[in-house]
Amino acid sequence: MPELLETAEAAPDSEAMVIVAGNQVVGFYRLDFMPGAVAARNFGEPSAGLRGFFIDSRFQGRGLGRFAMDAVIEDLRRRHPTVRVLALSVNQRNPVARQLYLRSGFQDHGEVFPGGSAGPQDVMVRRL
């Protein structure tokens, strides 16, 4: 978590966000508005990159990921109404995250970003 927050603070076009359930911090994500933030790609219209989305392992398996993703999308629509695309990359070895993103309306068009720090990443997009 400290490394993720430091990275977010160093990026001028990003917002670090915490995910709260009740009165507990259960996760984190970062919105990145820098062009090319996801897979060094331009999506052709105003976009944001979803980076570092995670739910603490102590809180996984309770449906919080789906609730959090719905809240991320609603918050993005409300605070950044000109953004039309939310993009992310997900490690190909993380089928649980991939399913969460698909259930949350992200689409996979078969684009692979080979440069992920933990291996190849599938690029996924969601229209807002």
Residue from 99, 43, 39 nearest 66 by CA: 99
Query: Which residues span the domain enclosing 20?
Result: 2-127
User: What CATH number did the domain enclosing 102 receive?
Assistant: 3.40.630.30
pLDDT (0 to 100) of residue 2: 65
Task: Determine the pLDDT at residue 114.
Answer: 87
Domain count, the chain: 1
Distance CA 3, CA 26 (A): 17
Alpha-carbon gap, residue 61 to 55, rounded angstroms: 10
Over the chain (128 residues), the average pLDDT of each successive run of 10 is: 69 88 93 90 93 92 94 97 96 93 95 82 95
Q: Is 38 exposed, middle or buried (0-12, 13-18, 19+ CB in 10 A)?
A: buried
What's the confidence (pLDDT) of residue 116? 67
Encoding tokens for residue 50?
A: 């979803």
pTM of the predicted protein model? 0.89
Q: Based on the number of CB atoms within 10 Å of its own CB, is 104 exposed (0-12), middle (13-18) or buried (19 or more)?
A: middle
